[in-house]
Amino acid sequence: MRKFFLPFAVFCLALPVISAQADDSGGRFRYPFDQIADPSCRFSAWNTLDDDCKIDLPRIEGADYAKYKNNFLYERVYTVLWEGTYDYGWDVWQGSHLGVDIATSLGTPVYAIGDGEVLVAGWQTWWGNTVSIKHTLDDDTAIYSNYAHLSSVSVKVGDVVRGGTLIGAVGSTGNSTGNHLHFQIDTKKGFHPWYYSACSKGISAWDVVNRGLCQADLEANTLDPIAFLESGKIAAPVISEETIEAIQEAPVVEIKQEDVRSRDEIIREELGIFLKRYQIKVVMSADKKVIPLGGKKSARITVIERRNGKPFTGTMPLDGIELHVSGDGVKPFPARILDIQGGTRDFSLEWKAIGNYVVSLRIGNEVLAVVPVQVYDQKTESKPTAGAFFLPKNPTLADERTVAFVMRTSLGGYSLGIPYSDTYILRAKSGKAKFCNVSKKTRKVCAPEDLVSELTFTYSDTYRGVLVGRAVPLRTGELSYELVRRSDGLVIAESAVMQVSLPSDIASAKTYRTEVIRALERGLFRTKSGRLLPDWELKGKQAKEIVGNVLGYAYLKSGDNRALKQKFLQIIVKWNEGVGTIGDYETVSRGRFAKLLMDALSDPRDIETSGKKWVDERGNYEAEMRTLRVRDGFAWRDGFGDRYFQPDKTLTIEEALYFADFSLESVLGRAGLQ
C-alpha cells in the first residue's frame, strides 16, 4: 500500500499538463466537463441557468490536494476524492472512495475523456445510469473511464467515441445523494465500474469507504482520476501500461481529517447560502388547516429567488424537503420532495385519526415552515359548545369597528371551514351596542337599517365559519358581548368586559354637549378612531349620514306599530332614491340642512303666523325656519338664537348633531314614540 508525503505537483512539475477541453489528437485525454454550475447555483437545473451561473471546471492543478483542501469553491465542486471518506471528502488516503465525485447541476453535459469504445450505456445496480468506455493505449493495454449517476445517457453499447463526445448528463440516479458525477478510472478487465468484491462482503458500502477498507484492492484496480488527468505523462508520445504504472507510483499526500472540514459542515454552509438565495413557502389555505377525518387535502410548496422572483427549477439541497408530522394520524405524500419544477411542488396530506398535529417542512436540521393542522369528526363538531371573540381595543361611543367570532372545536382549535348546525345570536351582555353582519360583503360598513341589537346568523351567513361583524357601542361604561345558541339558549362564549369611552375631543363640544352625546347614543353619527371633530364644518356626506340615521332610528323606534313602521320605511326608500342631490364634499349651511331634514321626514311646512319673526326669516328657507320657530320652539344657543336663524351660515358637526337630535325628538313626540 502506498503512503507518501510529497505533493504530487512535485512529480509532474516538469511535465506538460493535460487540457480540460477536448483534444483531437489520438490517445490524449481531457476532463469530463467543459463547464459546470457555479456552486451557488448548482441546485438549479442546467437548462435554467443564466451565463453568470456557469463556470469553467476548476482544476486541482497537479493533483495538489493539500493546496486546495480548505478552498470553499473546490470543497463544493469536488465533494469526495479518490481514497477519501464520505464523511470528510478531502481526507485523502483515509478512505476507500473509488473515484471522484464532482457536484454540478442536474443536466450538466458530460463528455468522454478520450477516444474509445462504449462498453456500458444504461442502468447499473447501485450506479444508476452509467457509461463505461474502454480506452486502448499504445501497447494495446487499456484503461476504462466510468461516468455514474447520470440523468440521461446519449450513447449506446458498441459506439466508438472521440474525446469530447457528449455521452450523457449529470443526475442523481442509483444510490446517490444530490446531483453529481461519479467519475472513476479502472485499470483491469472485468466488470465496470469496478467495485470491491471479496473484501467487502457483509459490510455496507458506506462503512467500506468511511473505514478505509479494501485499499489494496482499490489501488490495484483503479486510478486516482484527478492524478491521471493532471499527469503530464498522459500527453506523452507513447501511452502504455508503463505510463499507468508510473502514475500509480506517484507520491500521494496524506490529508488528515482534522485538517479538513467535514461534509456536514460544508453542506450546512451550502444550505445557508441556498436559503439566503431562495424563499421557500408553504401555501395552505386556512380552511385546509382544519380537515375532516378521512379527508385528503393538497398543499403547495413555492420556491422563488429572492433577488428577482425567478421560480426555482431543480433539485433541493441535501435529501430534499422532508415532511414531518407529529403523531401517526396524518400521512404525507410524498414524504420527501427533491425536485421542484417552475417554482412549485404540490403534496397531499391524508388524515387518519382525530387530533391536533403539526406538519413541519425541513431540509436537514433547518425548519422551513410549521403548519398546525386539526383533524375533526364532522358528527362531533356539528354543534359547537365554545367559541372565541376577536374585538378591538379601547372602544369609543358611536365608533363603528369590526368584531369577529369563530367557533372552537372539541379539540380546542378554531372551527374554520367546519359547517355547523343551528342558529346563533350575537348580542351585548352588558352595556348597549348594535351590530350588522358584513362577513360576505366587499364593503365592510353598516347601513343604518341593518343595525340590530341582536344579530342572528347560521354557518351559511359566515365566511368559512367566521362571523365578521361591525359593532357600534351606544352607551359609555361597561360593554361585553355574548354568543348564544338559539335552540336551547346555551351561551357559547362571553367576551371580556370593555370600557366604552367618550370621544377624546368631546370637550370641544361645549355648547351642545348633552344633545351631542344623546345623538351619538342614538347612533345618529359615527365617530372615527375615537374622535368626533365637533368644530369641523359639516360636509354633504356627513349630512346624508346623519339624516339617514335619523330615519333609521325612527323606523326602529316604531316597534310593533306596523302602520308607522311602513310609513318610515317608505320615507327611507324615497330618501335613498333622492340622496344624491347634495355632493359628498359640499359644505352644508344651516338652512340647507333644515330643508334636508324636513324633506326626509316629510314634515309639513304650512304654519301661518303674524307674530314675532326672526330677523332673517325670509328667502329660500322661510317655511322651514317658521315651522322650526313656531311649531317646535327651536333656537340656536349662540347668543343670537332669539333673533336670528342665520340660514346661510355653515354648520359644524356639533351644531348638526344638536339640530338632528332636536328634530328627531320633535318627530318622535308627534308620533307618540317618546
Count Cβ atoms below 10 Å from residue 562 Cβ, excluding itself.
9
pLDDT at 10: 34
- Tell me which H or E stretch contains 152: strand 142-153
HSE (CB half, 13 Å, CA atoms) of 563?
1
pLDDT at 285: 61
Which domains are assigned to the chain? 8-261 (2.70.70.10), 275-376 (2.60.40.1930), 382-500 (2.60.40.10), 518-671 (no CATH)
Q: Sheet with 386-390: list strands edge to edge.
A: 386-390, 401-408, 466-473, 433-437
Phi and psi, residue 543, nearest 5°: -60, -45
Q: What is the pTM of this model?
A: 0.63
pLDDT at 580: 63
> Who's near 662: CB < 8 A, 6+ residues apart?
515, 632, 634
pLDDT at 9: 39
The verdict on whether omega for the bond into residue 58 sits within 30 degrees of 0, i.e. cis, is no
Round to whole Å and give the CA distance between 15 and 11: 8
Question: Which one, of 407, 4, 75, 108, lies nearest residue 264 by Cα?
Answer: 75
Round to whole Å and give the CA distance between 623 and 508: 32
Rounded to 10 degrees, the C-alpha dihedral 530/449/459/478 comes to 40
- Tell me which H or E stretch contains 339: strand 339-340
pLDDT at 53: 94
> Who's near 424: CB < 8 A, 6+ residues apart?
456, 457, 458, 483, 484, 485, 486, 492
438: DSSP letter: -
| HEC readout, 571-602 | HHHHHHHHHHHCCCCCECEHHHHHHHHHHHHC
What are the beta bridge partners of residue 301? 282, 345
| CA 488 to the chain's CA centroid | 42
- Listed in sequence order, the DSSP H helices in 496-538 are 513-521
C-alpha cell at 129: 445510469
Question: Which one, of 351, 465, 485, 356, lies nearest residue 415 by Cα?
Answer: 465
- Listed in sequence order, the DSSP H helices in 531-652 are 540-557, 562-578, 590-601, 622-627
| pLDDT tens digits for range 39-98 | 999 999 999 999 999 999 999 999 999 999 999 999 999 999 999 999 999 999 999 999
User: Is the separation of the CB atoms in 240 and 138 below 8 Å?
Assistant: yes
User: Is the separation of the CB atoms in 510 and 537 below 8 Å?
Assistant: no
Question: Which one, of 142, 129, 141, 137, lies nearest residue 168 by Cα?
Answer: 129
| pLDDT tens digits for range 271-308 | 999 999 999 988 876 555 777 787 777 889 999 999 99
Round to whole Å and give the CA distance between 474 and 260: 74
- Tell me which H or E stretch contains 181: strand 180-186
289: DSSP letter: G
> Who's near 563: CB < 8 A, 6+ residues apart?
none
pLDDT at 288: 57
User: Is the separation of the CB atoms in 600 and 546 below 8 Å?
Assistant: no
Residues in the chain where the model's pLDDT stays below 50: 1-27
